[in-house]
Homo-oligomer: A and B are copies of this chain.
Amino acid sequence: MTFNQILNRLLTPRERMNWEASLARNAREYPKGTDLVREGERPAALRVVLSGWVQKYKQLPDGRRQILALVLPGQPCDLDLFTVVRTDHSISAIRRVTVAEIGRQEATALIEQCPNLAMVLGWSEIVAAAVQREWTINIGQRSAIERVAQLMCEIFARQRGVPAAGGGECDFLLTQWQLAEATGLTQVHVNRTVQELRRRCAVELRNLRLHIPDFAQLARLAAFNPAYLHLGEADLVAERVGPLFGRIDRS
């Protein structure tokens, strides 16, 4: 269940129109590598990725860098605009991206006009937190090959869902260097690892496309358990998230 499908399901037609209009009105393009947000800044906009991929990352003083999360098309980067005074991480474009940047005033008005929107945005944060936890165990406990395989499973599942059988293909906009920064490995070792995965016929990877011939096999290798993506729970978002973030209003 993608973020867009959740929006479709939970927003009223009018709410959805307002949201879409706001996104379109505030869409901007950036070349790859552009920093959208820098650590320590005061968040000034609600950002939603419309095309391309965006990374959240942190750096140590000596330059070591860790990618914390990937934001795929359709997803909001974060809700820091509404919550945080100084951002604790940076956000940048992995490749050329289109991002909607909705300013504070408009974003606040939008949420007030669309009672269900806060709820859906809240849900996206909940899933993002679960993904962050999975990345923690990924980096902390899995071996190199498991880490890379796990990340590939996640990226596939977030775009295509978990296939009932067999496999498929999806976008994979990371260079091996970025894959290394996301998994806590070095670029050289990621290369070894990707080749090992190729040798085992677990994945094909070229031209920014990832092909997984047998998803179940890769998932086994990675000890991938898709539960943390909460893909099947969106139907229940309404009754659950409602009390905290907002209220359903289908009038």
Chain A residues engaging chain B, CB cutoff 8 angstroms: 39-40, 56, 58, 60-62, 64-66, 68, 79, 82-86, 88-89, 108, 111-112, 118, 121-123, 125-126, 128-130, 132-137, 139-142, 183-184, 223, 227-228, 230, 233, 236, 240-241, 243-245
Q: How far is the CB of A130 from chain B (nearest CB, A)?
A: 5
Specify how many copies of this chain sit in the oligomer. Answer: 2
Q: A141: which B residues are within 8 A, CB to CB?
A: 60, 64-66, 184
Q: At the interface, is chain A mostly helix, strand, loop or mixed?
A: helix
A88 touches B133 (CB 8 A): yes
Q: A89: which B residues are within 8 A, CB to CB?
A: 133
Assuming A118-B244, A142-B60, A236-B85, is B133 touching A68 (CB within 8 A)?
yes
Q: Which residue of B lies closest to A118 (CB)?
A: B244
Q: Which of A64, A123, A140, A244 is packed against the most chain B CB atoms within 10 Å?
A: A140
Q: Which residue of B lies closest to A112 (CB)?
A: B243
B68 touches A111 (CB 8 A): no
Q: A112: which B residues are within 8 A, CB to CB?
A: 243
A84 touches B136 (CB 8 A): no
B118 touches A230 (CB 8 A): no
A137 touches B66 (CB 8 A): yes
A122, B84: Cα distance in complex, Å: 11
Pick from B126, B133, B245: contact of A245, CB below 8 A: B245
A140 touches B139 (CB 8 A): yes
Please name the 7 residue pairs, one residue from A and one from B, whose CB atoms are nearest each other, closest first: A140-B184, A66-B137, A82-B244, A88-B228, A64-B141, A85-B233, A66-B140
A61 touches B223 (CB 8 A): yes
B244 touches A79 (CB 8 A): yes
Q: A88: which B residues are within 8 A, CB to CB?
A: 130, 133-134, 227-228, 230
A240 touches B132 (CB 8 A): no
Q: A132: which B residues are within 8 A, CB to CB?
A: 129, 132-133, 136
Pick from B108, B183, B243: contact of A82, CB below 8 A: B243
Q: A108: which B residues are within 8 A, CB to CB?
A: 243
B139 touches A184 (CB 8 A): yes
A83 touches B133 (CB 8 A): no
22 sample A-B contacts, Cβ–Cβ < 8 Å, listed by A number: A56-B133, A60-B137, A64-B142, A66-B140, A68-B137, A82-B243, A83-B126, A83-B240, A84-B233, A85-B230, A86-B227, A86-B233, A88-B130, A88-B227, A88-B228, A88-B230, A108-B243, A135-B136, A139-B140, A139-B184, A141-B184, A245-B245
